């Protein structure tokens, strides 16, 4: 069983953050572990309060995991402040790893700032260059590059700008654009489009967390980047397609769409 690690925030409603990541890691057949950076009081209707953990406990969680169960692939989601970002960067520097998937979480779908605005520069300067792949949505890519994104051409321009900061690959997610759900993978010699029909579903809480975790799990299982993104896209599309209404707002996706419940009864 390949170990996978998420470094992210907790979502009390279970649809995004650490909870979405661990469900995805498990559904894809890896052994999920977590380093919690912050606790959010959140449900399908919004984020109501956030409490960041101390940098000491973030550092210690990373150290004890790496000293005992070195992960095959790591994903970073919500990191909230400059202090936490610097602690993660300094601690990860001490260890060997190949696959770091960075989902540059900034604002929740419900409009809450999960990354303090003044920490944005540190995320760009320190975390993006360390990543194997960065997975911004259009709003995050606009914040990082100041390029306005309306179509695939703009995604390419912004994606190449992010690539020049230092990661090996960039996956530009197009979930917020109109028309088909198109994502673009950009690398020094890769430009690949992943297209799925847009699903008319309101339950998209945690889609970005889920896709980046799926890519992390597939990298841990040994797939190359193009195939890991292809399988991740299939996983998130099916998870949205099979989502269910729970709560009164924007519900979660179905992380276990691939599980045969008859077998576990």
Ligand X SMILES: Nc1ncnc2c1ncn2[C@@H]1O[C@H](COP(=O)(O)OP(=O)(O)O)[C@@H](O)[C@H]1O
Ligand Y SMILES: Cc1ncc(COP(=O)(O)O)c(N)n1
Q: Is 211 in the site for ligand Y (CB under 6 A)?
A: no
Using rule CB under 6 A, residue 196 touches ligand X? yes
| Segment interacting with ligand X, rule: CB under 6 A, options 47-55, 72-80, 156-164, 204-212 | 204-212
* Catalytic residue (one of 208, 210, 232, 237): 208
9 binds, among ligand Y, ligand X, none (CB under 5 to 8 A by kind): ligand Y
The yes-or-no answer on residue 40 being catalytic is no
User: Which one-letter DSSP state was computed for residue 197?
Assistant: P
Q: Which of 181, 217, 220, 225 binds ligand X (CB under 6 A)?
A: 181
Q: Cβ of 90: how many Cβ atoms within 10 Å? A: 13
Q: Is 207 a catalytic residue?
A: yes
Asked if 109 is part of the footprint of ligand Y (rule: CB under 6 A), the reply reads yes
Q: Which does 145 bind (CB under 5 to 8 A by kind): ligand X, ligand Y, none?
A: none
Residue 179 binds to ligand X (criterion: CB under 6 A): no
Judged by CB under 6 A, which of 137, 203, 216, 243 binds ligand X? 137
Catalytic pick among 30, 204, 210, 216: 204
What CA–CA distance (Å, rounded) separates 129 from 134?
9
| CA 254/CA 20 separation, integer angstroms | 10
Burial of 202 (0-12, 13-18, 19+ CB in 10 A): exposed
Based on the residue annotation, tell me whether 179 is a catalytic residue of this protein. no
Query: How many degrees, rounded to 5, is the angle at CA 130 between CA 148 and CA 166?
Result: 50
Q: Cβ neighbours of residue 15 under 8 Å, at least 6 residues apart?
A: 44, 205, 206, 251, 252, 253
Q: Is 174 in the site for ligand X (CB under 6 A)?
A: yes
Q: Write phi, then psi, for 249 (nearest 5 degrees).
A: -120, -135
Looking at residues 214 to 243 of the shown chain, list those that interact with ligand X (rule: CB under 6 A): 233, 236-237, 240
Q: Give the DSSP H/E element, type plus range, for residue 37.
A: strand 31-43
Q: Does 252 bind ligand Y (CB under 6 A)?
A: no
208 an active-site residue?
yes
CA 98 to CA 51: how far, in whole Å?
30
Binding to ligand Y (CB under 6 A) within 146-185 occurs at none
What residues are paired with 76 via a beta bridge?
7, 102
Residue of 23, 72, 173, 255 interacting with ligand X (CB under 6 A): 173
Q: Which is nearer to ligand Y, 5 or 8 (CB)?
A: 8
Least Cβ distance, residue 205 to ligand X (angstroms): 8
CA angle 198-200-202, nearest 5°? 120
- Phi first, then psi, for residue 15 (nearest 5°) are -95, -25
Q: State the residues that interact with ligand Y by CB under 6 A.
A: 8-9, 11, 16-17, 40, 42, 77-78, 105, 108-109, 114, 205-209
């Amino acid at each position: 069983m390949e170990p996978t690690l998420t470094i992210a925030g907790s979502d009390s409603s279970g649809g995004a953050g650490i909870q979405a990541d661990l469900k995805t890691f498990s559904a894809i057949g890896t052994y999920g572990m977590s380093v919690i950076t912050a606790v959010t009081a959140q449900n399908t209707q919004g984020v109501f309060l956030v409490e960041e953990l101390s940098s000491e406990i973030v550092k210690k969680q990373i150290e004890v995991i790496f000293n005992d169960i070195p992960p095959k692939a790591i994903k970073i989601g919500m990191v909230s402040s400059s202090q936490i970002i610097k602690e993660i960067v300094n601690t990860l520097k001490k260890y060997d790893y190949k696959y770091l998937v960075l989902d540059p979480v900034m604002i929740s779908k419900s409009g809450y700032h999960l990354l303090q605005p003044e920490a944005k520069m540190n995320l760009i300067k320190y975390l993006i260059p360390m990543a194997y792949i960065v997975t911004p949505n259009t709003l995050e890519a606009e914040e990082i590059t100041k390029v306005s994104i309306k179509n695939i051409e703009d995604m390419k321009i912004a994606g190449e700008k992010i690539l020049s900061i230092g990661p090996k690959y960039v996956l530009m997610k197009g979930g917020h654009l109109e028309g088909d759900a198109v994502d673009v993978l950009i690398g020094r010699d890769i430009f690949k489009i992943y297209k799925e029909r847009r699903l008319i579903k309101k339950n998209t809480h945690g889609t970005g967390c889920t896709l980046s975790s799926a890519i992390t799990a597939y990298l841990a299982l040994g797939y190359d980047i193009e195939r890991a993104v292809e399988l991740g896209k299939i996983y998130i599309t099916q998870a949205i397609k099979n989502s269910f209404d729970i709560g009164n707002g924007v519900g979660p996706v179905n992380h276990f769409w691939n599980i045969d419940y008859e077998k576990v009864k």
